Structure 1
Amino acid sequence: MKQAVAVVDRVVTERGELVLRQCGGHFEIVSNGVFLMDTRAGASERLLVRKALELVRPGARMLIGGLGVGFSLAEATASAVPAEIVVLEIEETLIGWHRDRLAAYSGHALHDARVRIVNRDMLAWLRSTDEAFDAICLDIDNGPDWTVFPGNATLYDADGTALLRDRLAADGVLAVWSASAAPAYAERLAEVIGPVTTHLVEVPRGEPDVVYLARRTGPDRR
């Protein structure tokens, strides 16, 4: 039997319609009619953060691009490794959902003293700051080849990849989530940032989710 879908909240932002709906006890987020994510799984989003934290020292500064349903942030705050976790999220409404309906999925992390939520477009914020991070976890889109908004494609081109590299400390790691393999992007990461490892997470239907990790080689910016 098909499960009933109920709209919990619907807002119109500068980027269009954003909907939170509930289906079978789970929440789903839909942007302009396109399904983005739900609360059913989260294994690959947690892996994104876990693998990045395995490569940094205790006391690390972490940047998470995209709040989503909160799996990445929950994984980060469950670890003692990061001393500071900055989360970039463009949708103020989504941040609000994590203060109530989605709070359990992000581990009530908005109340963690290590967490700083920045309500900005990630690309614009990266261009405006000189902060450096030991780990950057990018989970804004469905991958380098499937962006939520056309402007996000810049995050994955040569200039955007160089910008991300410049926000990494020496030996810092960039972790990127993708709903499918993106071999050309993996090559770009290796060329612009440093050695790349690839991690696959099987999903019930379709291609495995993919997590790319690139380790920066170069002088410390801090």
Structure 2
Amino acid sequence: MTGGPGSGMTRLLRGGMGAAAVGLLLIYNSVATGKGDPVAGQAAPPAAVAPAVPGPSATAVGQAAPTAAPGAPALKRSKPTRLRIPQIAVDAPFTELTLNPAGQLNAPPPDDKNLVGWYRDGVTPGERGSAVVAGHVDTTKGPAVFLLLSLLVPGNKVEVSRADGTVAVFGVDSVQTFAKDAFPDQKVYGKTPDAQLRLITCGGTYDKKRRDYLDNVVVFAHLESSHKA
């Protein structure tokens, strides 16, 4: 995928994370077929990263989002411009994402390996609610922006630069993997009383027949602070 941001390369892949990264690259080389976007789950290359419309209309019942540590006050609405995740060397610009006719979230363009997408009709990162950001784990051109997303751990930082000149800093609460055919919409997209962030990409086994990964990796994070760029 999609299923894809901070000061990038100097702190990347130390110790055990380096070994895990090598493993992910081997996984990528074993599943990429070169017959189209390897993350696509639909007929069109920009496959949905999750099976439902983000936001209050999500219908899964009885599932709560992970408990977050006390966060910073929510910010006013402002479009995101850049995503940085120092621990995995992500430093990528944003594009706006829409929904396809089936109500699924379109992925970022499959020909750009270093691009993340924000669901433009949802809340903006830093605003109260769950902001949704998606990125490819790989494309037909090779590993992509969110290749190492699953390696994040609680306490890692995610920085989102915004059009209003502020940088929203999020702390990772958890990293979870869900089967695409049992995606917990409410847990991921449901309303929250504070400013939270969801980073989504593809994961799990790559099904060559379906030309799609079977799972989604979701990073849950909450707003810890903000500062001027």
Tell me the TM-score normalised to structure 1 length.
0.32
Tell me the TM-score normalised to structure 2 length.
0.31
